């Protein structure tokens, strides 16, 4: 039954195919529309074209690093307000501080959170960003009609 509500859109930018697949399955079961990108170039392109509700971003990516993606997203009007959660194997304090300065909304070490825990963190992140999670008539980032 279609209720008319749009699914929240999640972009996962991750180079490991197994990790991408796991996150896709878990988030789709939780009602998300999931976009996947295996490298930084595709991830940046998908983010700019699809304007997802939230982005899960790995830092160490082929073609364009997660740091550079974040800088580019924050420099563009349409993408600067998209909540970004870094999920990385790296958990260095310097990374967390630099990422926060670049506009990361949340930082998560992959080893410390299961995919199911990440769903909860993404829901909390979306709520803090003002997204109602069950669909909205306007984009929460640029306030354009959906």
Q: CATH number of the domain at 103, please.
A: 3.40.50.2300
User: Which whole number is the average pLDDT over 77-100?
Assistant: 71
Instruction: In whole angstroms, give the CA distance from residue 116 to residue 93.
Output: 25
Instruction: In whole angstroms, give the CA distance from residue 30 to residue 34.
Output: 10
Q: 68 lies in a domain?
A: yes
Q: 79 lies in a domain?
A: yes
Lowest mean pLDDT of 10-14, 18-22, 83-87, 88-92, name the range: 88-92
Q: 71 lies in a domain?
A: yes
Q: 64 lies in a domain?
A: yes
User: Which whole number is the average pLDDT over 99-118?
Assistant: 64
Q: 1 lies in a domain?
A: no
Give Cα separations from 49 to 15, 32, 96, 113 (angstroms).
20, 18, 27, 29
State pLDDT tens for residues 55-84. 999 988 999 998 899 889 989 999 988 998
- Let me know: does 9 contact 33? Beta carbons within 8 Å: yes
Total domain count for the chain? Answer: 1
Q: 114 lies in a domain?
A: yes
Q: 141 lies in a domain?
A: no
Q: 113 lies in a domain?
A: yes
Q: Which of 85, 26, 38 is nearest to 64 (CA)?
A: 38
Domain range for 103: 9-128
């Amino acid at each position: 039954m279609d209720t008319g509500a749009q699914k929240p859109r999640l972009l996962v930018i991750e180079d490991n195919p197994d990790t991408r697949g796991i996150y896709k399955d878990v988030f789709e079961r939780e009602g998300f529309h999931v976009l996947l990108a295996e490298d930084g170039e595709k991830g940046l392109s998908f983010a700019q074209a699809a304007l997802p509700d939230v982005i899960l971003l790995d830092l160490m990516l082929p073609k364009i690093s997660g740091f550079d993606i974040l800088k580019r997203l924050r420099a563009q009007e349409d993408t600067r307000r998209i909540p970004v959660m870094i999920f990385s194997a790296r958990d260095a304090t310097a990374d967390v501080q630099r990422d926060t300065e670049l506009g990361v909304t949340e930082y998560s070490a992959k080893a410390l959170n299961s995919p199911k825990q990440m769903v909860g963190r993404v829901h909390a992140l979306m709520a803090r960003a003002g997204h109602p999670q069950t669909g909205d008539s306007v984009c929460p980032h640029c306030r354009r009609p959906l």
